[in-house]
Amino acid sequence: MLQRFLNLFLQTNCPLCQRPTAREFCQDCDRQLQRCQLPPPHEFNQGDLPVFVWGNYAGALKRAIAALKYEHQPQLATPLGHWLGQAWLKSSASKSFKKPLVVPIPLHPTKLKQRGYNQAELLAQSFCQITGLKMQLGLERIRATEAQFNLSPAERSQNLVNAFKVHPQLQRRIGTNPVLLLDDIYTTGATAKAATQTLRQQGIVVCGLVAIATTQKQNLKSL
C-alpha cells in the first residue's frame, strides 16, 4: 500500500505522450521504444572503427532522443543508457577488448551552457552503471560547429575538421586502456571519425563507438 501511494505521489507525465507515469516512460511508450531495438547483431564497421548501436533512429526512439536533447528531459538518459549497456554485455563486441574507458562525445561549451548538460555524458554514466566500465572525460570540442543534420556527408566531415582536442588529464589517465567512444546518434560517422582521428593522433587506441540509435541500419552485419 505504501509503495502504491508513493508511486501515485511521485507520478509525472510521460514525455512522449503526457500520460501519468511513475517511471521515465509510460508502459505503452516503453513498449513502442522496445520495438525500436534492432535485432542482433547490432554491429558494423565504419572503416576500421567498430560501431555498436541499440536501435533504429525512428518512431518512439527518435522522439525520446529529441526530448532528451531539446526538451530538458535529462532523466531519459537513464533507461536509454541501461538498454544500450545490457545489449552491449550480450554482444561479442564487449568481449573483444579488455575494459575500455568510455569517453562520451563532448558538446562545445556554448551549447553545453545552453542545454545545461551533455546528453552523451549522461548516457555514458548509465551505460557504465550496467557494464561496470569506467567513464573518463577529456575529449573536448574546441570549435563550434553547425548542426550536422542539415549538412551533406561531405559538409559534415568538413564541419568537424579540427573540432576536437585531447585534454592532458585524459592522456595522463588513459594508460594502456583503449577508448570506447559513446554518442547518442550515429549517422554518417563524421563525428566518430573526427573524434577518433584526434585521439589516435595522441597515441590513444580507439576500439570502437557505441550509440543508442543509428540511421544506418542497412549496414548492420556481423563483424
Q: What is the pTM of this model?
A: 0.87
Model confidence over 146-179: pLDDT tens digits? 565 565 655 555 667 788 999 988 888 887 789 9
Domain assignment present for 7: no
Q: What is the pLDDT of residue 159?
A: 63
Other beta carbons within 10 Å of 91: 17
In the chain, DSSP assigns E strands to 12-13, 20-21, 43-46, 49-56, 101-104, 139-141, 164-166, 179-186, 206-214
Model confidence over 72-99: pLDDT tens digits? 999 999 999 999 999 999 998 888 777 8
Domain assignment present for 68: yes
CATH number at residue 97: 3.40.50
Structural domain harbouring 189: 14-144+152-218
Domain assignment present for 104: yes
Q: Is 123 exposed, middle or buried (0-12, 13-18, 19+ CB in 10 A)?
A: buried
Q: Is the pLDDT of residue 130 over 80?
A: yes
Model confidence over 97-124: pLDDT tens digits? 778 999 999 999 999 999 999 999 999 9
Domain assignment present for 134: yes
Q: What is the pLDDT of residue 11?
A: 67
More confident call, 14 vs 161 = 14
Domain assignment present for 8: no
Domain assignment present for 4: no
Averaged pLDDT for residues 13-39: 94
Averaged pLDDT for residues 22-35: 95
Domain assignment present for 3: no
Least confident of 31-35, 84-88, 122-126, 217-221: 217-221
Domain assignment present for 6: no
**Considering its fold, how many domains does the chain have in total?**
1
79 cis-preceded (ω within 30 degrees of 0):
no
Averaged pLDDT for residues 198-208: 93
Residue 43, beta-bridge partner list: 52
